[in-house]
Amino acid sequence: MQGDLERVLFDEAAILRRLDQIAAQISADYRDQELTVIAVLNGSLMFMADLLRRIPLPLKLDCLGVASYHGRTESTGEVILKQVAPDVKDRHILILDDILDSGNSLAAVREKLEMAQPLSVRVCVLLEKKKSRARPVKADYVGFQIADEFVVGYGLDYMEQYRNLPCIGVLRKDLIAS
């Protein structure tokens, strides 16, 4: 699997070091609040597991499945929520996602949750691509900013592969279907 990478951007140790920092920041920000974390599946699975174990606060956890990619590396703009949004009324919501790319999926999730009258909504992403977005979404917590390249590993997939790579790297261009 590692051989399918053009280069490694962040190894496991670098990811976990950064998670220590973000977790400390989130723990301080939500110290006296009723926090509900909503993780967007499947890409945020590893990120969610490692981040939440570093946050020593009482919190609720819900997961939300969305589909926006269909074996492509570009967003189609169409986002489907795979189930009814969890109950977020009167809760402080922190949305976790793997990557902020076009912004389509996070904008759709955020919009859906805001309709259910939460007290607040913030967004935390592991990766943020430096590019102009189809929909304006601001992430409150960002693990790493990256260039506009297609990356895999640590939860991120290409056609459902590579999620179990422990590092994050740029996928070789010759492996991406044109």
- Which spans of this chain sit near ligand IMP (rule: CB under 6 A)? 43, 68-69, 75, 97-106, 150-152, 156-157
3-state class of 59 per DSSP?
A: strand
Check if the beta carbon of residue 96 is closer than 8 Å to that of residue 38.
yes
Give yes or no for residue 69 binding Mg ion (CB under 5 A): yes
Q: Which of 22, 45, 157, 162 binds Mg ion (CB under 5 A)?
A: 157
Give yes or no for residue 162 binding Mg ion (CB under 5 A): no
From the list ligand IMP, Mg ion, none, partner contacted by residue 105 (C-beta under 5 to 8 A by kind): ligand IMP
Pairing of strands 151-152, 168-171: antiparallel
Distances (CA, A) of 33 to 27, 36, 54, 97, 134: 10, 9, 17, 21, 32
If the CB atoms of residues 57 and 67 are measured against ligand IMP, the closer one turns out to be: 67
Look at the block and give the residue holding tokens 């590692």: 2
CB of residue 41 to ligand IMP, shortest distance in Å? 9
Identify residue 47 by its one-letter amino acid code. Answer: F
Q: Tell me whether residue 101 is one of the annotated catalytic residues.
A: yes
- From the list 101, 140, 157, 174, the catalytic residue is 101
Number of Cβ within a 10 Å radius of residue 147: 10
CB of residue 32 to ligand IMP, shortest distance in Å? 31
Residues serving a catalytic function are 101
